[in-house]
Structure 1
Amino acid sequence: MPTIKIYPHPEYCPNGAEITAPAGTSICEALLDNHIDIEHACEMSCACTTCHVIVREGFNSLNEAEEGEEDLLDRAWGLEPQSRLSCQAILAQENVTVEIPKYSINHAKENH
């Protein structure tokens, strides 16, 4: 079962975290299942960028981004070459390390 290391984020996990999730799980689902309440305004339907993460390690082990995700990422705050929408990034067998950007384009947070 792969491990996801999450860098510290002042709101979602101030001390950082290390969690495990089964291969085939999206990063967003894994975070939510482990009480790291990352924003996901579109309910993980690949229609916004609020669940944007930057994959610091293990990027190539994830599934390839589809065109719809790539188009949305162009609007994400703090976009980097290893950015993914966590709702679309599916874990394989390798460990990954992610950083949740400080901001999202969402002006009003949803209460999920």
Structure 2
Amino acid sequence: MAKIVRLEPIAEEAEVATNSNLLSLLLHKDLDVLKECGGRGMCATCHIYIKSGMEGLSSINRREQRTLEVITSCKPNSRLACQTRVLDEGVVVELPPGMYVQSLKDIEDLIGRRAEQDLLHPITGEVLVEQGKIITRSMMVQMEDTKFEIGDYFNQSSDF
């Protein structure tokens, strides 16, 4: 039996099969979710917030908990869409604000413009460029050491 899930701030409702994960719903709605780890709960590129209905979802497993611990934008209502299964009605998902940056090239193309929204690191959720700030070449130099490759990131972390 399908369950209805509401997506905010886009104010859309969608059906998802009972026990399906929220990532499948986001992909079905053609939302740009990076899913760098292929849905294994290791990269946090499908990080979402549960606005209401947490009791209608599967509980957090150990892998998801460990991944959430490295996200700087993590809140008590944070979940990974790939690990979160819908079990009941009343779930409202809040999509995180900001654009996830996959490479320095994504930012380089925006030099000289104001960031329309926070530009976020795809793994940690760290704000790379704040909304309203002008994206400059000097910001690019400061971010040269930023790791965007999921494998590189987890190889340097002893927590995983």
TM-score by length of 2: 0.58
Work out which structure has the larger RCO, using CA pairs closer than 8 Å and 6 or more positions apart in sequence. 1
Q: Does residue 1:73 correspond to 2:89, yes or no?
A: no
Structure 1 residue aligned with 2:130:
none
Q: Partners in 2 of 1:43 and 1:98 — Cα distance?
A: 21
Q: Which has the higher helix share?
A: 2
What is the correspondence of 1:72-91 to structure 2 with a 5 Å cutoff?
72-91=67-86
RMSD: 1.7
Q: Is the 8 A contact 2:57 2:88 kept in 1?
A: no
**What count of residue pairs does the alignment treat as equivalent?**
102
Alignment partner for residue 27 of structure 1, among 19, 22, 25? 22
Alignment of 1:12-23 (within 5 A): 15-23=10-18
Q: Offset of 1:16 from its aligned partner?
A: 3.2
Deviation at 1:87, TM superposition (A): 0.3
Task: Tell me which residue corresponds to 1:94.
Answer: 89
Gaps of 5+ in 1: 9-14
User: What is the letter of the counterpart of residue 80 of structure 2?
Assistant: L
The alignment partner of 2:17 has SS state of coil
Q: Percent identity?
A: 25
Give distance in 2, aligned partners of 1:77 and 1:38.
18
- Which residue is equivalent to 2:31? 36
* Structure 2 portions without partners, runs of 5+: 99-119, 124-147, 149-160
> Which structure would you say has the larger Rg?
2
Matching of residue 55 in structure 1 with residue 50 in structure 2:
yes
* Deviation beyond 3 Å, 4+ runs, structure 1: none
Q: What SS is found at the alignment partner of 1:21?
A: strand
Aligned residues of 2:5 and 2:89 also touching (Cα < 8 A):
no
Q: Which residue number corresponds to residue 5 of structure 1?
A: 6
AA matched with 1:51: C
- Asked if structure 2 preserves the Cα contact closer than 8 Å seen for 1:39 and 1:50, the reply is yes
1:105 equivalenced with 2:106 (yes/no): no
**Closer, same or farther: CA 76–52 of 1 in aligned 2, 3 Å:** same
Q: Deviations over 1:1-53 (max 9, x none)?
A: 21111112xxxxxx432111110110011111222232311111111101001
